[in-house]
């Protein structure tokens, strides 16, 4: 019989320091991290030494590092970027301003914003070799894979790619912010047999995206709604793709490698793609009359309903509430109220059956559909926004870098003799 013992669930911070204090079953303690005091709750297990669940430091609920980029207040359903509440940002800022905030740390004044937008406009073009690469990729390949390949290729044409300074990384971040919409739109256009579009330097970030995609600038309502969606998607703490980027650059790999790691992680359906999946669900349901029965049958089959629930928010995702306001405006402007009726029924059924609120992907999937954006572009558009958060975290990691290398607890067999090949079963 294995002796039970209290074992600490160790927490590893970005500094590679290990904090553990095996005293009581639960311990709340302050630790000094450099000159900053932080509060950590540690949990202890009475499971045997070899129990599989003793040590799970990188799954959920564990502090993996310190950041000054965003704060998620789960209890109050609040989200802030560098100290600015998300409500204030969507009410008063363009996405260009928020991108500047995330990359540089403060909201810009007018002259700083003008200079930033001028730089972004001047760097929207991508090397012709990258467009040629997109032409050669299989049209049926996912847009995420196509964009990932293009971003990896883009690095080869950047003479600063091997420089490891915060100043250089910020310059690269601005160029990636400028170039990613060009890559995303032209990847899609080429996959559809269309010729690539040329970006315009005179338009703001969001208007330029619509110009390349559709050939015209967005209406005022669509422009405002898209701007808000980009702000809501821009940053969200140590999510899977952001953490993947930080792990990559903690090895002193380059910023492009960090972004490519993030794109590959975002492709996974447990992290990205919920906005696409939720809209596909609405299309499959088809009408409000079928919505309740469809959800009940899906739940009975143990089918996952995409766009609901969030690990960080206990009382609903405030970003979803903000986005839904613009869904209502677009639905009313188009006379397409059946979409909103259907969404409301699904929300009600999910709350009654599972106690789950919609997350931001549920309304934004519908929001993009009402803008006539092709569904395969929804996750790449998420990436077009999140590039700002990814780059902010990459820069932060570089400025206080320690290799991120968590330990693992071995749970397999031990002291096994090596039998001769002829004697192995």
The pTM score is 0.85
pLDDT score of 111 more than 50: yes
Q: Which of 96, 254, 317, 361 is catalytic?
A: 361
Residue 77 confidence (pLDDT) = 85
Residue 321 confidence (pLDDT) = 95
pLDDT tens column, 367-413? 999 999 999 999 999 999 999 999 999 999 999 999 999 888 899 99
pLDDT tens column, 324-377? 999 999 999 999 999 999 999 999 999 999 999 999 999 999 999 999 999 999
Domains plus CATH for the chain?
A: 1-66 (no CATH), 84-273+389-399 (1.10.580.10), 276-370 (1.10.230.10)
pLDDT, mean over the chain: 87
Q: How far is it, in rounded angstroms, from Cα 169 to Cα 395?
A: 6
Q: Which of 123, 236, 310, 393 is catalytic?
A: 310
- HSE-up (13 A, CA, CB side) for residue 105: 7
Determine whether 361 is an active site residue.
yes
8 Å CB contact between 84 and 226: no
Banded pLDDT at 41 (limits 50, 70, 90): very low
Q: Is 172 exposed, middle or buried (0-12, 13-18, 19+ CB in 10 A)?
A: buried
pLDDT score of 50 more than 70: no
User: Measuring CA to CA, which residue among 340, 414, 408, 411 is closest to residue 370?
Assistant: 340
pLDDT score of 15 more than 50: no
Residue 406 confidence (pLDDT) = 87
Residue 61 confidence (pLDDT) = 61
Residue 7 confidence (pLDDT) = 37
Residue 59 confidence (pLDDT) = 56
Higher pLDDT, 15 or 199: 199
User: Measuring CA to CA, which residue among 188, 163, 189 is closest to residue 175?
Assistant: 163
Span 27-46, average pLDDT: 40
How much of the chain exceeds pLDDT 70, in percent? 86
8 Å CB contact between 76 and 316: no
Any idea which of 60-74, 166-180, 220-234, 328-342 has the lowest mean pLDDT?
60-74
Span 22-30, average pLDDT: 39
Banded pLDDT at 288 (limits 50, 70, 90): very high
pLDDT score of 67 more than 90: yes
How much of the chain exceeds pLDDT 90, in percent? 78
Banded pLDDT at 312 (limits 50, 70, 90): confident
Span 272-301, average pLDDT: 95
- HSE-up (13 A, CA, CB side) for residue 33: 22
Any idea which of 134-138, 218-222, 307-311, 373-377 has the lowest mean pLDDT?
307-311
Q: How far is it, in rounded angstroms, from Cα 141 to Cα 78?
A: 38
Determine whether 106 is an active site residue.
no
Any idea which of 27-41, 217-231, 406-420 has the lowest mean pLDDT?
27-41
Q: How far is it, in rounded angstroms, from Cα 111 to Cα 116?
A: 9
């Amino acid at each position: 019989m294995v002796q039970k013992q209290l074992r600490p669930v160790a927490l590893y911070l970005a500094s590679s320091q290990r904090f553990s204090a095996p005293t009581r079953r639960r311990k709340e303690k302050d630790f000094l991290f450099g000159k900053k005091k932080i509060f950590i709750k540690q949990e202890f297990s009475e499971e045997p030494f070899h129990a599989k669940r003793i040590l799970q430091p990188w799954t959920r609920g564990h502090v993996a590092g310190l950041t000054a980029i965003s704060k998620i207040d789960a209890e109050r359903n609040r989200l802030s970027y560098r100290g600015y509440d998300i409500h204030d940002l969507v009410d008063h800022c363009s996405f260009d301003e928020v991108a500047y905030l995330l990359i540089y740390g403060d909201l810009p004044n007018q002259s700083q914003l003008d200079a930033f937008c001028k730089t972004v406009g001047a760097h929207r073009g991508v090397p012709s070799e990258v467009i040629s690469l997109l032409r050669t990729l299989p049209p049926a390949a996912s847009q995420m894979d196509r964009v990932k390949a293009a971003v990896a290729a883009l690095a080869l044409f950047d003479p600063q790619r091997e420089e490891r300074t915060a100043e250089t990384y910020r310059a690269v971040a601005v160029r990636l912010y400028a170039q990613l919409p060009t890559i995303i739109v032209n990847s899609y256009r080429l996959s559809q047999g269309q010729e690539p579009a040329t970006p315009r330097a005179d338009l703001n970030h969001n208007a330029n995206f619509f110009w390349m995609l559709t050939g015209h600038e967005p209406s005022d309502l669509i422009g405002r709604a898209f701007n808000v969606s980009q702000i809501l998607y821009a940053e969200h703490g140590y999510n899977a793709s952001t953490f993947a980027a930080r792990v990559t650059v903690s090895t002193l790999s380059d910023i492009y490698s960090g972004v490519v790691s993030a794109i590959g992680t975002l492709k996974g359906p447990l992290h990205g793609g919920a906005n696409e999946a939720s809209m596909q669900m609405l299309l499959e349901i088809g009408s409000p009359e079928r919505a309740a029965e469809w959800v009940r049958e899906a739940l009975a089959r143990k089918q996952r309903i995409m766009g609901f629930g969030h690990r960080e928010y206990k009382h609903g995702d405030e970003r979803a509430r903000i986005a839904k306001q613009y869904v209502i405006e677009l639905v009313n402007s188009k006379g397409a109220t059946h979409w909103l009726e259907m969404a409301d029924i699904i929300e009600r059924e999910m709350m009654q059956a599972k106690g789950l609120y919609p997350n931001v992907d549920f309304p934004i999937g519908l929001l993009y559909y009402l803008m006539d954006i092709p569904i395969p572009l929804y996750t790449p558009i998420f990436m077009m926004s999140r590039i700002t958060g990814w780059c902010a975290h990459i820069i932060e990691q570089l400025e206080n870098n320690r290799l991120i290398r968590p330990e693992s607890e071995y749970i397999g067999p031990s002291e096994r003799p090596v039998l001769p090949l002829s004697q192995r079963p």
